[in-house]
Amino acid sequence: MQQAPRIAPSILAADFAKLGEEVRAVTEAGADYIHIDIMDGHFVPNLTIGPAVVAALRPHSPLTFDVHLMIAPADLYIPAFVKAGADIVTVHPESGPHLHRSLQLIKSLGKKAGVALNPATPLDVLDHVWDDIDLVTIMSVNPGFGGQSFIAGALSKIAAARKRIDAGGRTIDLEVDGGVNNENAAEIIAAGADVLVAGSATFSGGPEAYAQNIRTLRGPAAHTGGS
Ligand code: DX5
Ligand code: ZN
Residue 75 bears catalytic tag: no
Among the listed residues 37, 40, 66, 75, the single catalytic one is 37
The pLDDT value recorded for residue 220 is: 79
The pLDDT value recorded for residue 3 is: 80
- On average, the pLDDT of the chain sits at 96
Could you tell me if the CB of 10 is within 6 A of ligand 1?
A: yes
Q: Closest ligand to 140 CA?
A: 1
Listed residue (195, 166, 164) closest to 178, CA to CA: 195
Could you tell me if the CB of 142 is within 6 A of ligand 1?
A: no
The CATH superfamily label for domain 6-219 reads Aldolase class I (3.20.20.70)
**Predicted confidence (pLDDT) at residue 221 exceeds the cutoff of 70:** no
Instruction: Give the model confidence (pLDDT) of 14-30 as tens digits.
Output: 999 999 999 999 999 99
Instruction: Please tell me which residue, 161 or 221, carries the higher pLDDT value.
Output: 161
* Helical residues (DSSP H) of the chain, grouped into ranges: 19-28, 51-57, 78-84, 99-108, 154-168, 185-190, 200-203, 210-218
Question: In testing the pocket of ligand 1, which one of 43, 139, 145 has its CB within 8 Å of the most ligand atoms?
Answer: 145
Could you tell me if the CB of 51 is within 6 A of ligand 1?
A: no
**Predicted confidence (pLDDT) at residue 68 exceeds the cutoff of 90:** yes
The pLDDT value recorded for residue 120 is: 98
Which atom of ligand 1 is the closest one to the Cα of 141? 1
Instruction: Give the model confidence (pLDDT) of 80-99 as tens digits.
Output: 999 999 999 999 999 999 99
Which atom of ligand 1 is the closest one to the Cα of 142? 6
Structure confidence at residue 117 as a pLDDT band (50, 70, 90): very high
Residue 173 bears catalytic tag: no
Q: What mean pLDDT do residues 107-113 have?
A: 98
In angstroms, rounded to a whole number, what is the distance separating the alpha carbons of residues 44 and 129? 24
In angstroms, rounded to a whole number, what is the distance separating the alpha carbons of residues 113 and 90? 6
The pLDDT value recorded for residue 222 is: 59
Could you tell me if the CB of 5 is within 6 A of ligand 1?
A: no
Q: What mean pLDDT do residues 94-113 have?
A: 98
Could you tell me if the CB of 13 is within 6 A of ligand 1?
A: yes
pTM score, whole prediction: 0.97
Q: What percent of the chain has pLDDT over 70?
A: 96
In angstroms, rounded to a whole number, what is the distance separating the alpha carbons of residues 215 and 29? 9
Cα angle, residue 122 at apex, residues 120 and 124 outer, rounded to 5°: 170
Q: How far is the centre of ligand 2, averaged over its atoms, from the C-alpha of 222 (Å)?
A: 23
Instruction: Give the model confidence (pLDDT) of 134-190 as tens digits.
Output: 999 999 999 999 999 999 999 999 999 999 999 999 999 999 999 999 999 999 999
Q: What percent of the chain has pLDDT over 90?
A: 95
